[in-house]
Amino acid sequence: MTSRPAGFGLVAGIILAGGLSRRMGGGDKSLRSLAGQPVLAHVIGRVAPQVDALAINANGDPGRFSEFKLDVVADSVPGFVGPLAGVLAGMDWAIQKVSGATHVVSVPGDGPFLPLDLVHRLISAAFEANLPLATASSGGFTHPVVGLWPLALRDDLHEALAVEGIRKVDIWTAKHGIAIAEYSTQPIDPFFNANTPEEIDEAEKLFRSLTSES
Residue 200 located in a structural domain? yes
Residue 189 located in a structural domain? yes
Gyration radius (Cα) of the chain, Å: 16
User: What pLDDT is stored for residue 193 in this prediction?
Assistant: 92
Domain of residue 65, CATH code: 3.90.550.10
Q: What is the pLDDT along the chain (214 residues), one digit of tens a residue?
A: 557 898 899 999 999 997 554 443 456 889 999 999 999 999 999 999 999 999 999 999 999 999 999 999 999 898 888 999 999 999 999 999 999 999 999 999 999 999 999 999 999 999 999 999 999 999 999 999 999 999 999 999 999 999 999 999 999 999 999 999 999 999 999 999 988 889 999 999 998 888 766 5
Residue 3 located in a structural domain? no
Domain that holds residue 69: 10-213
The total number of structural domains in the chain stands at: 1
User: What pLDDT is stored for residue 24 in this prediction?
Assistant: 38
Residue 4 located in a structural domain? no
Cα–Cα distance between 41 and 65 in angstroms, integer? Answer: 10
CA atoms within 13 A on the CB side of 54: 21
Residue 5 located in a structural domain? no
Residue 121 located in a structural domain? yes
Residue 106 located in a structural domain? yes
